[in-house]
Every structure is written in C-alpha cells, then in structure tokens.
Amino acid sequence: MTRTTSAHLFHSVNGVVEDPHLWQFDAFGADEAQLMTDSLAPVTDTIIGRKLWQEWSEYWATADDPFGEWVNPMHKHVISSTLPSDLPWNSTLVAGDPIAYVRHLRAGDGGTIAVLGGIETVRSLFLAGLIDTLTLTTHPVVAEGRKLFESGMATTRLRLLEARQTAVGNAVLTYALRQEDDAAGS
C-alpha cells in the first residue's frame, strides 16, 4: 500500500506563497488552526527544503509550543545539496534525486507524509504526481513574492476535491492532479 503525501500552503489571491507570515497575520483564526491540527494529525514524516529546515530547526527545536511538540519528534527528510549528511533534529538528508527518494519513502511503512516546503520542492513533487492532496488556504490579500506556479509552466489541470470558507474569510481549497482518465471524461 502506498503512503499518501500532502502539502498545505498559505496563498494570496494573486498566487503568492512566499513568506505568508508577512500577510496572513490578520486572517488566521480558529478554523485555520483546527484545519492545521486536523491535517497534521496523521503525519509521521515530513519532506522539507533546506531553507525552511534551517529556519525551523533554529527555532522549533527548543520552542515550548504545541506545534513544536508535533514537529520536534517528527522525522524530517531534508532536500539539500549543501547541508552535511549528519543532520540533527531527527532529520535525514535526502541524497540524490528527491523524486526517486519520495517515491521510495511512499512505498514504505508509516502514516501520511507532509511536504512542508520550500516552494520548488512542493511544485516539483506535485507536478511529478507525488503529492496526493494540495491544500491552498487563500487569504483575501494581494501580496508580493514568489508563486507556487510561475508563468511559463505548461498547462496543468487540477481536480477540486474540497472547498470551504473560514470564519475570517479565507477560502480553503484542496486539489489533486487531474489524471488523464479524468480529463478524457470531462
């Protein structure tokens, strides 16, 4: 049985996913917190990029916080070509091709695998068909920064799995890649 892989990103109306802490602060409420709690509960492993891993390992490794209690014991698979192989904080360096590594990880035992970032990691794994669900919490803001899907990419069809609105006005949209057989029937 293949393990499932998910990603959840905060997203502006114009598609920005970079540095959401700069623009989401006034639109994160109890619904968003509960969605995060629910989506992280089945996760046993995370895929994380170097930059985010470095930021988080400096802070969360010693933070006394519910998120810290979840992320600290979690096994982290770090995609980097510059970090040393002997990583602290319950982490393993992804050696070689990240796509092949995630395919192998998905074939093993365990719970859900969460892809926490960075932007290129989420994009490449999603487009390779290795993220089963991509949830975008879209905040009612126009922001400046990098987008998950940049211009110049090939047209890629998605299938909406779930849509809801939170009390603070965010749209939470969960997608999967649209499979070839889905496209043929539409």
Residue 89 belongs to domain with CATH number: 3.40.430.10
Model pLDDT, residue 64 = 85
Tell me the H-state helices in the chain: 30-40, 50-59, 66-71, 98-107, 119-127, 180-185
How many Å apart are CA 123 and CA 149, to the nearest integer?
A: 7
User: Is residue 3 within 8 Å of 106, Cβ to Cβ?
Assistant: yes
CA distance 64 to 20: 22
Helix 119-127 and helix 98-107, axial crossing angle in degrees, nearest 10: 70
Q: What is the mean pLDDT of each run of 10 residues along the chain (186 residues)?
A: 91 94 85 84 93 92 85 94 95 94 95 92 92 95 93 86 95 86 49
How many CA atoms lie less than 13 Å away from 31 in the CB half-sphere?
Answer: 12
pTM for the full predicted model = 0.88
Structural domain of 143: 5-185
Amino acid letter at 172?
V
Q: What is the pLDDT of residue 181?
A: 47
Per-residue pLDDT, 155: 86
- Whether residue 118 has a cis bond before it, omega within 30° of 0: yes
Number of folded domains that form the chain: 1
* Partners of 7 in the β-ladder: 115, 134
What's the confidence (pLDDT) of residue 1? 66
pLDDT at 4: 95
The CA-to-CA distance between both ends of the chain, in Å, stands at: 29
pLDDT at 180: 58
46: CB partners within 8 A, 6+ apart: 71, 74, 75, 76, 77, 113, 114, 115, 116
